[in-house]
Chains A and B, each alone.
Chain A
Amino acid sequence: MTILVILGVIALIVVLMYNSLIAKKNQVENIFGGVDAVLKKRYDLIPNLVASVSRYMEHEKSILEKVTELRAEANKPNLSDKEKIDLDTKITSALGSIMVAVENYPDLKANENVMNLQHNLTEIESQISAARRAYNQAVTDYNNAVEMFPTNYMASYMSLSKKDVFIISEDERKNVNVREMFNA
């Protein structure tokens, strides 16, 4: 009888551990779906942006080409989560340098289409930032479960491994000051 009870308890613990790991893994995947959706929104803006600024930006041709290239790469099917994360980091920094460069062209800054794009981009950036933070939290919960005792044994048995988080730069933590950007 006692043995049965002990076995029952062990089985219950195993089931609970298994379920919590699966729940955490699904949460990560679920949120990555959200991240992916906002990243796509941003990719869609890129051709429009490049088209509007390329006439003015003679000296920054290389950045523009790089962004277009990165976008093409990001649109390829069957990318792994890690590849998507890496591409996103590159696109973020390339778009950042374009936005800084825009400041050097008064005509461009005053262009309504460019202004509109800039606004949209800032808005999408803040959505992306939120999505990244949500993803990082889900990954942290998942990684903790994968590495911590006793779920780590269960995880290695289920062959679940650690996942990467997005690196959030200090700049991003500070949050974009919209007013400053547009009144400058």
Chain B
Amino acid sequence: MKSISHLTDFYYNTLYPTLTELEKERTDLKNKIIKISIVLFLIIFALFYVITNGLKEINIDLILIFLFGAAAIGGFIYNLMIKDYATSFKTRVIEPLIKEIDANLRYNPMYKVEEHIFVNSKLFTSNIDRYNGNDYVTGQIDSVDITFSDVHAEKKHKDSKGRTTWSTIFKGLFIVTSFNKHFSNSTIILPDSAETLFGSLIGSWLQSNNFGRDQLIKMDDPEFEKEFVVYGNDQIESRYILTHSMMQRILELKKKTGQKVYISFVDGQMYLAIEYNKDLFEPSVFRSLLEYQVAMEYVKTLQLTIAIVEELKLNQKLWSKQ
């Protein structure tokens, strides 16, 4: 596996000519966006001035309507304007980076892990009403199949006034890999919110009475048990998957990502959801691509995701699956 420092070198050396070209595109685009924003602001303000009769009839509702309207129009125009730039950034920076990590990985900026696969992971039990995603990567690392993409799953709510709001079920990276052990039941590992919120006594009581989930499986690693809660329908098999070293590796992975990590083992596959709460691998118009922090975010996230195969030792072949 290519190291982060190798990939950083690749980013700043091999991609440098591309980055400078994109940098020019970006600054032009930024100036254009600033100009358009000013014009848009003036137009909206003029409209506001006329409607409020020269700012004499201002009320809070009107201000809110204008603010929301401006945000919606602004957002729409912004997305339209950066679309070309984002596409060329993805094909000229993200794709070469992925190929550099492993040449057999394929990348599609528009595609996503399909919804039925996401549902099949059993990680999130809420009904999904809207499902989006992009930046799809698939291939093999050390003969382990790996597929991942950005995913955003949402749920629709209607309040008493009939207004529709959306809440996020999950937003972040969703990863599917093959697993090196045979298993026939499912094991679900979730961040332990009950135990952190309510302490171990009430927390574990709440966990064991979690309707909609299988049996609670208590793990014999106190550190792991503090961070995660495990549900499954086979006490022995879940422990066959979650050996002491596997639990340590999962804890290590959680530390490295610094995000909430959800893992499940269903139908011979391992599903991993890392909650970044933002759309990854998107370029920012207002920050330079040459900025170290910006570069590191792309490089580190990609490296970490693909290195999961090694991190969790999924490439360690067991006799039973040879």
Which A positions have Cβ atoms within 8 angstroms of B? 31, 34-35, 38, 116, 119-120, 122-123, 126-127, 129-131, 133-134, 136-138, 141, 173-175, 178-179
A contact residues around B79 at 8 Å (CB)? none
> Which chain B residue shows the least CB distance to A122?
B319
B contact residues around A134 at 8 Å (CB)? 235-236, 238-239
A contact residues around B243 at 8 Å (CB)? 126, 129-130, 175
Determine the distance from Cα of A96 to Cα of B238 in the docked complex, in whole angstroms: 25
Interface pair A137/B235, CB less than 8 Å apart: yes
B contact residues around A174 at 8 Å (CB)? 244-245
A contact residues around B235 at 8 Å (CB)? 31, 34, 134, 137-138
> Which chain B residue shows the least CB distance to A116?
B319
Interface pair B319/A137, CB less than 8 Å apart: no
Does B237 touch A at the CB level, under 8 Å? Answer: yes
Interface pair B236/A130, CB less than 8 Å apart: yes
Determine the distance from Cα of A85 to Cα of B24 in the docked complex, in whole angstroms: 72
Determine the distance from Cα of A131 to Cα of B235 in the docked complex, in whole angstroms: 8
Determine the distance from Cα of A121 to Cα of B254 in the docked complex, in whole angstroms: 32
Interface pair B236/A131, CB less than 8 Å apart: yes
* B193-235 CB contacts (< 8 Å) to partner A: 218, 220, 235
Interchain CB contact (< 8 A) of A179 among B236, B237, B240, B316: B316
Interface pair A137/B240, CB less than 8 Å apart: no
Interface pair A173/B244, CB less than 8 Å apart: yes
| Nearest-Cβ distance from residue B234 to partner chain A, whole angstroms | 8
Contact size range, B: 10 to 19
Does B59 touch A at the CB level, under 8 Å? Answer: no
Interface pair B236/A123, CB less than 8 Å apart: no
Q: Please classify the interface of chain A as helix (H, G, I), strand (E, B), loop, or mixed, using the class held by over half of its residues.
A: helix
Determine the distance from Cα of A83 to Cα of B220 in the docked complex, in whole angstroms: 24
| Nearest-Cβ distance from residue A144 to partner chain B, whole angstroms | 11
A contact residues around B318 at 8 Å (CB)? 123, 178
Does B165 touch A at the CB level, under 8 Å? Answer: no
Interface pair A130/B244, CB less than 8 Å apart: no
Interchain CB contact (< 8 A) of A130 among B237, B319, B320: B237
28 A-B contacts (beta carbon < 8 Å): A31-B235, A35-B236, A38-B236, A116-B319, A119-B319, A120-B319, A122-B319, A123-B319, A126-B240, A127-B240, A129-B239, A130-B239, A130-B240, A131-B236, A131-B239, A133-B220, A134-B236, A137-B218, A137-B235, A138-B235, A173-B244, A174-B244, A174-B245, A175-B243, A178-B317, A178-B318, A178-B319, A179-B316
Add 12 more A-B contacts to A133-B239, A134-B236, A175-B245 (CB < 8 A): A34-B235, A119-B319, A126-B240, A127-B240, A130-B237, A130-B240, A134-B239, A174-B245, A175-B244, A175-B246, A178-B317, A178-B318
Determine the distance from Cα of A124 to Cα of B69 in the docked complex, in whole angstroms: 65
| Nearest-Cβ distance from residue A6 to partner chain B, whole angstroms | 25
B contact residues around A34 at 8 Å (CB)? 235-236
A contact residues around B236 at 8 Å (CB)? 31, 34-35, 38, 127, 130-131, 134
Q: With a 10 A CB-CB cut-off, give which of B236, B239, B317 has the most chain A CB atoms.
A: B236
Determine the distance from Cα of A19 to Cα of B94 in the docked complex, in whole angstroms: 58
| Nearest-Cβ distance from residue B252 to partner chain A, whole angstroms | 14
| Nearest-Cβ distance from residue A25 to partner chain B, whole angstroms | 15
A contact residues around B237 at 8 Å (CB)? 130
A contact residues around B246 at 8 Å (CB)? 175
| Nearest-Cβ distance from residue A112 to partner chain B, whole angstroms | 13
Determine the distance from Cα of A130 to Cα of B318 in the docked complex, in whole angstroms: 16
| Nearest-Cβ distance from residue B245 to partner chain A, whole angstroms | 4
Determine the distance from Cα of A131 to Cα of B236 in the docked complex, in whole angstroms: 5
Determine the distance from Cα of A173 to Cα of B240 in the docked complex, in whole angstroms: 13
